Structure 1
Amino acid sequence: RQQHPDFFQWLCVDRLMLCCPPGTYGPDCRSCAGGPRQPCSGNGRCDGDGTRRGTGLCVCSPGYGGPFCAECGDGYYEASRNKSHLVCAECYQACGRCTGPEDSSCLRCKRGWVLHEHRCIDIDECGTEMAHCRANQYCVNTEGSYECRDCSTACIGCMGAGPARCKKCNKGYWRDGAKCLDVDECASAEEPVCTGVQEVCENTEGSYRCVCAPGHIRRDGQCVEDKPPDAPEKGFFDDVTDDEVVVLQQMFFGVMICALATLAAKGDMVFTAIFIGAVAAMAGYWLSDRSDRVLDGFMKGR
């Protein structure tokens, strides 16, 4: 530490040669524009400052200019200056160059204004050939510029906003004095304009449309009654519950077993075998169903 008190200088600058002292740049650590003590007059930054890269040129802060950032840029004036520092402040919004903050201190105007007795006056582009709006648009003057806005849908060409500023009325409108009003095609037509079955006319802005009468919907291009589709007829067993199905199964098996038991009692070996098989199947089904219910009840009880 005693031998190298500035560890950064010793390691990064002298040994590794990756850095430069502040205010210098490039492979040889040359001084930045404006000198290493106050690069770019303190009003910007040196490109590559403190590194082995960069150009050493000044990148000025907003409002400052010149190779050393020692001048005020366009739209700014010199508010104060001493031997070591310069302060630039913003001009009045219309001024391109100025001597102070007031609108009367302009030396040059920005685009969209014109200089008159040291004041920048807004140009009304809409009253000159400077404005270029598309067909069916009108011009609106703004500070230092202009805007193009769309005419009303009632107009073909206009001189301002709204249907009272139309040069000509659009299709579907008629002129009432100075204003273009919507034509009610549904009420003004001598004959019905909607001729489809169960169609009615609905007036819209500048036009009309044919819609289905209340209680009807359009299907395949036709207006038909809006009613739910017919529900399928219920089958014979549709209303039978699960418990009733179980009872019917038991009754069926009971009748079958009784019939087989009667035939087996007569000594018919074939029916005896069928009877034994049916009883075993019925017992297996009953035990399986009963065990499922017991297990289900046990799980629910938990």
Structure 2
Amino acid sequence: MGDLSGHRGDEYIDNAGECHTCHVFCDRCYGPSDVECITCSTPRFYDSGYCATNCPTGKFDMNGQCYSCHHTCKECTGSEPNNCTSCDQDKFRNDRYLFNSVCREDCPTSHYPAAGNICLPCSSNCEVCTSDTHCVKCSSGYYPNPEGCQQLKCEEGEIADPDYEDCIQCGEGCEKCILGELLHRIT
């Protein structure tokens, strides 16, 4: 075997004991090619023996090394399921949707799936929507209209019926009521 005293960190030793310079992307290596790196020169990122210009989709950089994202993430900032920046499909090719850095099967209440597989909020006082301008179900005391959800305003002697999003008459001779209860009888 050759003399190792002249061996530099950016060199590898071949089977004959000879020192050779690593590929230009490698700081340390075990062979001549760009896929035989042990560490990478800055600004490259180490990814399974290869020194990449960026970590590929599905991986994130930590201290110059590429690590896999959580399986629900397409792109991420860390390995946990709450570090997603975009979502991948599940194994059945169903879309996942990004909400608060987590990829979910569905968007939560008061949110809808938008372009880019992200969950965006419905308009104010809307519980179920298909877009920011189309509300399917408004919060109690509101009803859908072309502008979003409008508050239900009942006249004196009426009370809002949340089941039908309409005003119903209080009992006979009643000025004010709570659904089913007499509050103030007119004398």
Which structure has the bigger radius of gyration? 1
**Higher relative contact order (Cα pairs below 8 Å, separated by 6+ residues):** 2
TM-score with structure 2 setting the length: 0.38
Structure with the larger helix share: 1
TM-score with structure 1 setting the length: 0.26
